[in-house]
Amino acid sequence: MPEHSASDIDDEQPEFRNVALTDALQTQDLAAVAFALRHGPTVVPLIPAGGDDPFDAGVWTYREPNSGEIALLLFSDAAHKPATLPSGVALNTPGWLRAFLGLHEDDIATVFIDIAGPHPMQATPTDLITALDA
């Protein structure tokens, strides 16, 4: 369950970000990204009302049309979420992220963090689980 949620994010809701994660992504330092994920929230897109959720968790995921592979998109800041994605987001805890990845590790092919930039990073669910467990 999301710790917080909002249907639209604007400048009046700056809590929908993880500054340490944003900073770590700038350096592309995996150890710093892992630390930020272990100690701060992560912004995840939510499925729109009536949308299809393959995990029954309310989290929007991308399914590649040709292969059917599923990607989880995470964001360091709601402002980094592309406008083409559903507008709703949740701010989830490290514990939630670890549990979600553990439950769906075999179903999720890849995880993108800040896919549209400014400093995108990609990892496997297994790599993120290892980072969260460190």
What tens digit of pLDDT does each residue of 49-59 get?
777 778 877 99
Q: Any idea which of 48-62, 72-86, 117-131 has the lowest mean pLDDT?
A: 48-62
CA–CA separation, 60 and 98 (whole Å)? 17
Grouping H, G, I as helix, E, B as strand and the rest as coil, residue 1 is: coil
**Predicted confidence (pLDDT) at residue 6 exceeds the cutoff of 60:** no
- Identify the band that residue 41 occupies on the pLDDT scale cut at 50, 70 and 90: very high
What integer is the mean pLDDT of 4-28? 73
Structure confidence by residue, pLDDT tens digits, 101-112: 999 999 999 999
Distances (CA, A) of 47 to 39, 54, 59, 92: 25, 10, 6, 15
Token pair recorded at residue 132: 């969260």
| pLDDT band at residue 38 under the 50/70/90 scheme | very high
- The SS3 assignment for 97 reads helix
Q: What kind of fold does domain 4-133 have according to CATH? A: Trna Endonuclease; Chain: A, domain 1 (3.40.1350)
SS3 126: helix
